[in-house]
Amino acid sequence: MKKIIATLVIALCVVGSAMAQDELSFERKQAIDSLALEKVRDLSKYIKIVGSKETPFSEANRVIDRAEELFMSDAEIGVSSLSSNKVTYYRVRKYFEHLMRLNYDRVEIEWYNIEYVSDLQRQPDGTYVGVITIFQTFRGYDAEGNLAYKDTTKKDITVYVKRKETQIGGRTIGFWDVLLGDMRVKETSNR
């Protein structure tokens, strides 16, 4: 009898634990929502640093490494222009290298209205997937300091959040791994 009760208690604990993992409380869900938004904001800062002509080459390369870590390995970033309807997609490193080589004397990149258009939803494999939209204003200036080009692009970024575990100092640490997927151009205007 005691064995049966012990088995039931263990089984309940295991099921309870599994349910705790499956059904996140509102507060925990909010925490990972914020974490994913923060990663996108971090990316905006990295784009700004790499795009800036004042950033030393070594710093820019270091930042590109960090920016790459934010993305899934096969992710692509779309680039558009007012002069063409075509959207070119680059792998993350190629995108940043392209950004470093832009033919302007000064570049300003601002991201704003960063928000979810599709909330993080749990997929059957346990990954949470959502879409965050951003607006990017790009300004390129010539040697005389005149505005040579300006556009505003709306982009959608797919976000993947997955629970993972790692060993640190003999402890198992459960963490939320946020990875950005493709960054798709939705519209480009001269605003």
Partner 1 sequence: MKSKITTVMMVLLAAFITLGGTTSCKSKKQLAKEAAEAEYKSRVAEAVKDLTAILDDETLWSLEEKEARVQTIKDWNLQNAEVDDLLLQVEKKLARERAQKEEELRVLEDRERLSAADIVLGRNFNTIANASSVSQANRAISETLAMFESPNVPVLIIIKQNAGFNDYDRPTTIENYLNYLKDQKKATEKIHEIKYNANGKINELELIKK
- 70 vs 148 by CB, closer to partner 1: 70
Question: CA-CA distance, 71 to 171, in Å (whole number)?
Answer: 27
Per CB under 8 A, 166 contacts partner 1: yes
CA torsion 87-131-153-61 (nearest 10°) is -80
What are the tokens at 125? Answer: 């494999």
- 45 vs 53 by CB, closer to partner 1: 45
Q: Buried b / exposed e across 75-101, counting CB within 10 Å, b at 16+?
A: bbbbbbeeeeeeeeebebeebbeebbe
Per CB under 8 A, 22 contacts partner 1: no
Per CB under 8 A, 174 contacts partner 1: yes
Distances (CA, A) of 74 to 45, 68, 77, 176, 183: 21, 10, 10, 20, 12
- 78 vs 159 by CB, closer to partner 1: 159
Nearest CA to 117 among 40, 169, 177? 40
Q: By CB under 8 A, name the one of 5, 169, 190, 191 that touches partner 1.
A: 169
Per CB under 8 A, 176 contacts partner 1: yes
> Which 83-102 residues touch partner 1, going by CB under 8 A?
none
The DSSP code sequence of 165-176 is: EEEETTEEEEEE
Per CB under 8 A, 47 contacts partner 1: no
Tell the smallest beta-carbon distance from residue 59 to partner 1 (Å): 6
Per CB under 8 A, 35 contacts partner 1: yes
Tell the smallest beta-carbon distance from residue 147 to partner 1 (Å): 25
Tell the smallest beta-carbon distance from residue 35 to partner 1 (Å): 5
Per CB under 8 A, 37 contacts partner 1: no
Question: CA-CA distance, 165 to 169, in Å (whole number)?
Answer: 13
Give the CB-side neighbour count of residue 162, counting CA atoms within 13 A. Answer: 13
Per CB under 8 A, 120 contacts partner 1: no
Residues that bind partner 1 (CB under 8 A): 25, 27-28, 31-32, 34-35, 42, 45-46, 49, 55-56, 59, 62-63, 66, 164, 166, 168-169, 173-178
